[in-house]
A and B are shown apart, each in its own frame.
Chain A
Amino acid sequence: MAWWHGIILSLCSTTAYCLLFNVPVRVLPAGGAVGVIGWIVFSLSPYFGASQIMATFLAAITLSLVSQILSIYMRVPSTNFSISGIIPLVPGSIAYKAMLSFVNGDNLGGITLSTQTFLLAGAIASGLIMGVSIFSLWKGIVMRNALKRTKAN
């Protein structure tokens, strides 16, 4: 039963990271929840045939969307959630392996692994941007509909 270990550990690390950045107390649980949601998407999507990079991308999109929605709901800037939410997705061990290959003189392996690290970092970045863009699109549609309704009234 490994799955609930992952949930608890990602909750712990995300909440602790929130605390490190002095996030307001009422936002702490939500920040932890965003991290857990990102982790769940990240660990489930390989079962549907996604590669690791794709899984990271999907998780980043999801947590960016969730943090935007929470930021409206709790009326705090969305960075409160998304900064610590990306912590479980950080490609730490691959970056480490890249360093190790360079130290051992295996330059080719090092370059391969660093490329993979950069791709994963790019997946996190583009996922976050994608989430924000999707959300602003949705917000724009909602705003337009609201305007139409007020005009009709």
Chain B
Amino acid sequence: MDTCLLAGEIMLRSGGETYRTEDTMVLIARAAGMDEVHSFVTPTSIILSYRYMDKSYTRMIRTPERTIDLNKVTLVNDVSRKYVSGKITLISAYQLLQEIDQKKHIYPMWLQNVAAGVASGSFAVLSGATYYALLPTALAGMIVNICLFYFGKYLPFRFFIDFMSAIIGGMFVLLIYSLFPTLRLDLMLVGTMIPLFPGVAVTNSLRDLLSGDLMAGVSRGVEAVLTAVSVAVATVIILSLAR
């Protein structure tokens, strides 16, 4: 039971799809010899119920905070596959899962910031800016990512964090633009907002909708739309400052 729930919790918290979380938990529970296993997962909670030795058990957990960590999803997937095919025991699976839960990001913080910068800069040039715009946009993307991290520590609302980071990144781009008016403001701003793009929410909501998990799919879709709207509002504010 604990193994199932831990696997589900790690997966859901690190940005796995809802249907994958449900499947993983049901497979682990079946392999452990439980009957009538049912799981219900929404983006913020997990309910698992099963029958074992003529007794029914139900438990529910909430997952308030969510990060994106596809490495953990992959690792939990591996562990569950190994357990279901009988290569490891339940106890060692539980230990492995606990290790995964404690794991930090593979890449250090500075590398993530640099990656955000590279993504921003190259997206700006990809959508038609000159190579001179690469460096300022990369710096702005880095600033956005750093802001996301630090605001995440102090602010409770996710969409507000995105909004504030977008504002600060946009301010930086505006500053660069007022210093070098030959650069194109539009493409630099577009590139800057790339680290805020809700890629995981979009992809997961589509997969959930497709696998018939309508509730989870719709709520993830709303998450994606809200993030996009907060970024758009931030852009509008920056633009009205630029006028």
Contact = CB atoms under 8 A, between A and B. Distances in A.
Nearest to A8: B122
Interface of A: 5-6, 9-10, 12-13, 15-17, 19-25, 27, 39, 75-77, 79-80, 82-84, 86-88, 90, 92-93, 95-97, 99-100, 102-104, 124-125, 128-129, 132-133
Given A13-B118, A21-B69, 6 more contacts: A19-B111, A19-B112, A79-B70, A86-B203, A92-B194, A129-B210
Contacts of B128: 93
SS class, residues of chain A in contact with chain B: helix
Interface stretch (B2-10, B41-49, B235-243): B235-243
Contacts, number: 147
A96 B193 CA distance: 10
B127 interface: yes
A77 B77 contact: yes
Interface string B188-204: 01110111010110111
Nearest to B14: A22
A75 B209 CA distance: 23
Interface string B18-61: 00100000000000000000000000000000000000000000
B119 interface: yes
A97 B194 CA distance: 16
A79 B145 CA distance: 22
B126 A13 contact: yes
B119 A10 contact: no
A91 B68 CA distance: 23
A90 B126 CA distance: 11
Given A19-B112, A99-B235, A25 B106 contact: yes
B77 A19 contact: no
The 4 closest A-B pairs by CB, nearest first: A92-B190, A16-B119, A16-B118, A19-B115
Given A21-B200, A25-B106, A90 B194 contact: yes
21 contacts: A12-B119, A12-B122, A15-B118, A16-B116, A16-B119, A20-B195, A27-B74, A39-B126, A75-B78, A75-B81, A76-B77, A77-B17, A79-B17, A79-B204, A86-B202, A87-B199, A90-B194, A103-B236, A124-B202, A125-B206, A129-B209
Contacts of B16: 77, 79
Interface in B193-226: 193-195, 197, 199-200, 202-204, 206-207, 209-210
Contacts of B88: none
A76 B117 CA distance: 26
Interface of B: 15-17, 20, 68-74, 77-78, 81, 105-107, 111-112, 114-123, 125-128, 145, 186-187, 189-191, 193-195, 197, 199-200, 202-204, 206-207, 209-210, 232, 235-236, 239-240, 243
Nearest to A13: B122
Contacts of A21: 15, 68-70, 199-200
Given A13-B118, A20-B112, A84 B199 contact: yes
Given A21-B200, A24-B74, A83-B200, A103 B123 contact: no
Nearest to A6: B126
